[in-house]
Amino acid sequence: MKVIKNYVNGQWVDSKSTQILDVVNPATTEVIARVPLSTPDEVRTAIEAAKDAFWEWRETPPLTRTRYMFRLKDLMEGNFEELSRVIVQEEGKCIDEARGEVRRAIEQVEVATGIPSLMMGYNLEDIAVGIDEYCVRQPLGVFCAIPPFNFPLMVSLWFLPYAVACGNTYIVKPSEQAPLSQNRLFQLMDEAGFPEGVINLVNGAKEVVDTLLESPHVKGVSFVGSTRVGRYVYQKAAENGKRIQAQAGAKNFLLVMPDANLDRTVPSLLSSFFGCAGERCLSGAVLLAVGDIYEPLKEKFVDAASRLKVGYGLDETVQMGPVISKRHMERVLRYIEKGLQEGAELVLDGRDIRVEEYPNGYFIGPTIFDQVEPQMTIANEEIFGPVASIIEVKDLDEAIDIIHANPYGNAASIYTSSGRWAREFKYRVQCGNIGINIGIVAPMAFFPFSGSKDSFFGDLHGQGRDAIDFFTEKKVVISRWF
């Protein structure tokens, strides 16, 4: 089986590393590719290439730079279904989920084509008589992204299009567990004709990350992953004087009020808790049922979840795929065991699921715990799998207290027909992404992907106007002519 290549300075290059990992299809458990863990020297070569390409790219007019983005968009549209299928095979999500990811990825490129307007500065004449002042935005140099496995195509595009359209050059270190869609994306970017060195791809793991973080030539880092690694990347990047945005872990609470429309709420909850097998930073993790809604909600939720079809995502009828790896499956199963040990009631047990055609796949069925207490491990720690915990609460205040006691602050949602409760929830809850009758609060490309507390380290988020601020420096000029 061939080892996938790096893309450096406009060329596809074999890594000289002897450390090679298998890329495994989580449903079939077949090895579908092999990925190198590139060496520090190979990373430095990519950094040099990006550095050397910077000045000429920076001098390229923004409008010209965005034309590459238009070409990239067309190429991604033309290869939409293929990209979707690659994601399914490397990551495990269902084909519709993969299509949703590809669409979101394209949206990032589309928004970045607005850079000529988005990166405009501002000015004022006569700050004193005959003296004018203006502010311009300028790119800084080399930036890099360390995306996660769960959205292997999309996440690098939360950053790269904005960075590059603003005039920076870029390096992506894809997840070593799911590198193939990123690899294909770079083939398309190569076809789009980006000049050599402007965009680079280096496969690998911690050594690659450390080399990027330590290099004085890398100006900024964008990371998405766990809180443990996010904190590490944040600290190391800051120690090395870099800009850093690190989107980290989550434990998202979905609150259902007594006046919620249950027929519309339950399908939304299913999507939130079990979509992408629970492997999303926006996935629902804890269901807070307020007052009288608790019993009917639990009944409908458990019943509907029990009917979800689990299998290989290339089958259009499958509604939930496997988790990413055997190791992760075992981790999720340990959490389920922990829930039982701590006294929660397992009302839907996903451990014994069998997918006939793929008996060795990393499948866990939808799993639901009831009678969960807020202090339990399963209610507090990020499981990152298809495990939902139900907590019965007496009112909105108790629900918000539980949410705030949790160290994460990525997303929270309320299901209600009351504008008053919705406003109060939105106003008070300390989470970056708030949903009102929406279970997956995924900001569109023109908004920032927010997050707070242990879910985000840094000042500027990915996407939207934040991206422009992150990838440019403001330069203020005061001029006078004699």
Partner 1 sequence: MELGTLGAVLAFAIKLEGHSAQFYEEAASLAKESPASDVFLSLAEARRKRKELLQRSRRENINEMLLEPIVGLKGSDYLMETELSSKMGYYDVLQLAMELEENSRRFYLDAAGRVNLPQVTKLFEKLGEENADHKLRVKSLHKEEGPGV
Instruction: Report the interface residues with partner 1, using CB under 8 A.
Output: 77, 80-81, 94-97, 99-101, 103-104, 267-268, 270-271, 275, 304, 307-309, 316-319, 438-442
Which residue, 106 or 201, has its beta carbon nearer to partner 1? 106
Compare residues 5 and 426 and give the one whose CB is closer to partner 1.
426
Percent helix, percent strand, percent coil in the chain, to nearest 5: 40, 25, 35
Taking the complex as a whole, the smallest distance from the CB of residue 449 to partner 1 amounts, in Å, to: 13
CB of 165 to partner 1, least distance (A): 22
**Are 173 and 202 a contacting pair, CB within 8 Å?**
yes
Burial 394-404 (b: 16+ CB within 10 A, else e): eebeebbebbb
Beta bridge partners of 462: 449
Q: What is the largest CA-CA distance in the chain?
A: 83
Q: Would you call 166 a catalytic residue per the annotation? A: no
Q: How far is the CB of 142 from partner 1 (least distance, A)?
A: 31
Decide: 323 and 355 in contact? Cβ < 8 Å: no
As measured in angstroms, the least distance from the Cβ of 312 to partner 1 is: 13
> Shortest gap between Cβ of 480 and partner 1 (angstroms)?
52
Q: Please, which residue, 100 or 220, has the CB nearer to partner 1?
A: 100
Phi-psi region of 116 (alpha: psi -120 to 50; beta: other; left: phi over 0): alpha
Closer to partner 1 at the Cβ: 117 or 317? 317
- How far apart CA 176 and CA 185 sit, in angstroms, is 15
Quickly count: other Cβ atoms within 10 Å of residue 248's Cβ: 27
Q: Name residues whose C-beta falls within 8 Å of residue 350's C-beta, 6 or more positions apart in sequence.
A: 336, 364, 365, 366, 367, 386, 387
CB of 131 to partner 1, least distance (A): 50
Complex with partner 1: residue 107 or 454, whichever CB lies closer: 107
**Closer residue to partner 1 in complex, CB, 45/84:** 84
Report the candidate in 407, 386, 415, 141 with the shortest Cα–Cα distance to residue 266. Answer: 415
For residue 316, which of 81, 130, 139, 56 has the smallest C-alpha distance? 81
CA atoms within 13 A on the CB side of 441: 25
Nearest residue to 320 via CA among 289, 277, 265: 277
Nearer to partner 1, 238 or 304 (CB): 304
Environment class of residue 225 by beta-carbon count within 10 Å: exposed (0-12), middle (13-18) or buried (19+)?
Answer: buried
Please, what is the minimum distance in Å from the beta carbon of residue 96 to partner 1?
Answer: 4
Which residues carry out catalysis? 281
